[in-house]
A and B are shown apart, each in its own frame.
Chain A
Amino acid sequence: NAGVTQTPKFQVLKTGQSMTLQCAQDMNHNSMYWYRQDPGMGLRLIYYSASEGTTDKGEVPNGYNVSRLNKREFSLRLESAAPSQTSVYFCASSTKAHWDSRYSGNTIYFGEGSWLTVV
């Protein structure tokens, strides 16, 4: 059971280079996310996709683009990398747990992370 798989695990880029982070989930989830994690700043949402064919900006979308290729795959592209984009990137997918008619909770499943350094 792979869950959420993201590649590459580690990458070093030069300023101005482009790259794409790949992500795939095998849990048949509708929603997928890209987060970045920086020390002392927690998890910040870059983009998310509520369903196949839709994408929306999160808290920190500048400098990034995304593609929801199909229900399984959600990629993140850095068009012109900058040192400020040095971070750990997490792809995630989610499903809802319903307790009753009033409450349901969004459970997010994360990949293992991609460590990106821009020099």
Chain B
Amino acid sequence: QQQVKQSPQSLIVQKGGISIINCAYENTAFDYFPWYQQFPGKGPALLIAIRPDVSEKKEGRFTISFNKSAKQFSLHIMDSQPGDSATYFCAAQDSNYQLIWGAGTKLIIKP
């Protein structure tokens, strides 16, 4: 009930392509869905987040698509660049404001 399942575990995309990372959850009480980006040797940092009352949130090349009925949300990176190479974590917030984390996706953008 408390899990957030993230896929794929790793992803290789050509420069200029679209990177897509998916997450699924079970607990309908989750009410906030952030994505964090982590570069090697650094801590994760908030990238973009969405509330469950909207279906899409876009910030520059990064878009979250949210499907409440399917209990799924995804991160799309348009025109992927080598500088986007990082590990991406999805998360979901429970009623105690605790974040439940996905396992992470290591994204490599090939030049």
Contact = CB atoms under 8 A, between A and B. Distances in A.
Interface stretch (A14-22, A60-68, A99-107): A99-107
Interface in B36-72: 36, 41-46, 49, 51, 53
B8 to A, nearest CB: 12
Interface in A13-64: 31, 40-45, 48
A106 B32 contact: yes
| Interface of chain A: mostly helix, strand, loop or mixed | strand
Given A96-B97, A105-B32, A113 B103 contact: no
Given A105-B51, A105-B93, A40 B103 contact: yes
A42 B46 contact: no
Interface in A75-119: 90, 92, 96, 99, 102-113
Interface residues of B, number: 24
Among A4, A43, A108: residue with most chain B CB under 10 A: A43
Contacts, number: 60
B97 A92 contact: no
Given A42-B89, A42-B104, A43-B101, A103 B51 contact: yes
Interface of B: 6, 9, 31-32, 34, 36, 41-46, 49, 51, 53, 89, 93, 97-99, 101-104
Interface of A: 4, 31, 40-45, 48, 90, 92, 96, 99, 102-113
7 contacts: A102-B53, A103-B32, A103-B51, A105-B34, A107-B49, A112-B43, A113-B43
